[in-house]
Chains A and B, each alone.
Chain A
Amino acid sequence: VRLFNEIQDKSREIEVANRHKSEFLASMSHELRTPLNAILGITQVLQVESKLLKRDDQAEPLKRMLGAGNHLLTLINDILDLSKIEAGHMDLQPEAVAVAPLLDELRSNLEPLVAKNGNALAVSRAPDVVSVYADPVRLRQALLNVGSNASKFTDKGTITVAVDHDEADGRRRVRFRVSDTGIGMTPEQLTRLFQDFVQADTSTARKYGGTGLGLAITRRLCNMMGGDITVESEPGVGSTFTIRLPARAEDFPFTSPPPEKSADEARSLS
């Protein structure tokens, strides 16, 4: 019994230490952004100046500085989000979100990304899907994340966003399916997909950029909103990510917390 108590005390200590670590990371990330934003801003001004002065030799290094800086900024933002979630500081405010304007906004946010790789974008909604019960900010983030992933890994193909309903255990859920005709993933790659800092392949980061945190964050956000995210994929054919979220407040599954980090996440919902 004494041993058991000791183990319990130790695990509590570890939990507290872990929370402190997450809080530290969250405040650090914020502090890191301010000077980085200054660097990015000044680099942009230099870019404008070098164009004006026809200093073509400076175009490439400035582009690389901005590219690397923006990558670093994405990393910091992702770490900030993840540590907020881990520390239980991610406050979600679910409400009835109108789906049609949400999709309009998603389309205009995705269009420049999709165009970059010569992809086409098709967005459709089943007429009976009017609203979804979710935190509007985090829902946008989740959809944008999955959508930008799709266009990143697809070249001269099609990205499809299709929204409809499904029903399980008497709960009505809105289903956002984001499909691409891109490079796809093998079953082994799929198993590692939603883990922190893991992309399908270690060479992926070099070739496609990104932090490898986006899907881990998206999965946590979907779980916290009472839904989930799943993926189907075939190498060389494409991938489909499906996000399912409660259609109405009464469809919110308070009784079945997500499998991981349930204590933290339940707390942050209250």
Chain B
Amino acid sequence: MKIMYVEDNEDNVYVLQRWFSIVGFELIVARDGEQAVTMAAQALPDLILMDQSLPGIDGWEAARRIKASAITRHIPVIALTANAMSGDREKALAAGCDDFDTKPVDIERWREKIRAHAKPIGSTAGPGKD
């Protein structure tokens, strides 16, 4: 399982690196929106976790581009935003994201979201087989 995390905060990247190394997932990290679009097409991850406030083009626009490309459109995108209550769910779905969650990192909740969306479904190592 290969998951791309789009995030510019070092501490958040560290948390996911450590978590995914425990559960045996491969993590690739894009630091901004432009990089996310390019990396998605090159690396073809199984799932994308996308922070929305990014330098350069934001997560909404990056998600839109990923979903507009025939190469990457099938990859599930989970949007991550800072505020649970700001109508971002609608915005995420409008941008073509498959799901939505809030920051800060919540391993228990994110694990469920990743489980629900990540393919291949037959994979034995779900995140958090702990």
Which of B9-17, B35-43, B117-125 touches A? B9-17
Of the stretches A136-144, A165-173, A184-192, A258-266, the one at the interface is A136-144
- B22 contacts A42, C-beta separation under 8 Å: no
Q: Are B85 and A52 in contact (CB under 8 A)?
A: no
Q: B105, A137: Cβ atoms under 8 Å?
A: no
Q: How many residues of A contact B (CB 8 A)?
A: 22
| Known pairs A37-B104, A136-B87, A137-B85; A45 contacts B9 (CB<8 A) | no
- Is A202 at the interface (CB under 8 A from chain B)? no
Number of interface residues, chain B, beta carbon within 8 A = 21
B108 contacts across to A, CB distance below 8 A: 44
- The answer to whether A44 and B130 have CB atoms under 8 Å apart is no
By the criterion CB–CB under 8 Å, are B11 and A42 in contact? yes
Alpha-carbon distance A26/B22, docked complex (angstroms): 37
**Cα–Cα distance between A245 and B14 once the two chains are bound (Å):** 45
Q: What are the interface flags for A27-50 relative to B under an 8 Å C-beta threshold, 1 for contact and 0 otherwise?
A: 000000111011011101101110
Which of A41, A73, A137, A144 has the most C-beta atoms of chain B within 10 angstroms of its own C-beta?
A41
Q: How far is the CB of A170 from chain B (nearest CB, A)?
A: 31
- Known contacts A48-B19, A48-B130, A51-B130: A41-B87 contact under CB 8 Å: no
Assess whether A45 is in contact with B130, with CB atoms less than 8 Å apart.
no
Does B85 contact A40, Cβ atoms closer than 8 Å? no
**CB-based contact B15/A42 at 8 Å:** yes
* Complex Cα–Cα for A34 and B53 (A): 13
- Contacts of B1-55 to chain A: CB distance below 8 A: 9, 11-12, 14-15, 18-19, 22-23
CB pair B87–A137 under 8 Å, yes or no, is yes
Q: List A contacts of B11 (CB < 8 A).
A: 34-35, 37-38, 41-42
Q: Is there contact, CB below 8 Å, between A41 and B130?
A: no
Task: Give the residues in chain B near A33, CB-CB below 8 Å.
Answer: 104
User: Are B105 and A37 closer than 8 Å at their CB atoms?
Assistant: yes
Name the B residues within 8 Å of A138 (CB-CB). Answer: 85
Which A residues are closer than 8 A to B by beta carbons?
33-35, 37-38, 40-42, 44-45, 47-49, 51-52, 73, 136-138, 140-141, 144
B contacts, CB < 8 Å to A:
9, 11-12, 14-15, 18-19, 22-23, 83, 85-87, 103-108, 128, 130
Closest 7 CB pairs of A and B: A38-B11, A37-B104, A41-B15, A41-B105, A44-B107, A51-B130, A45-B18
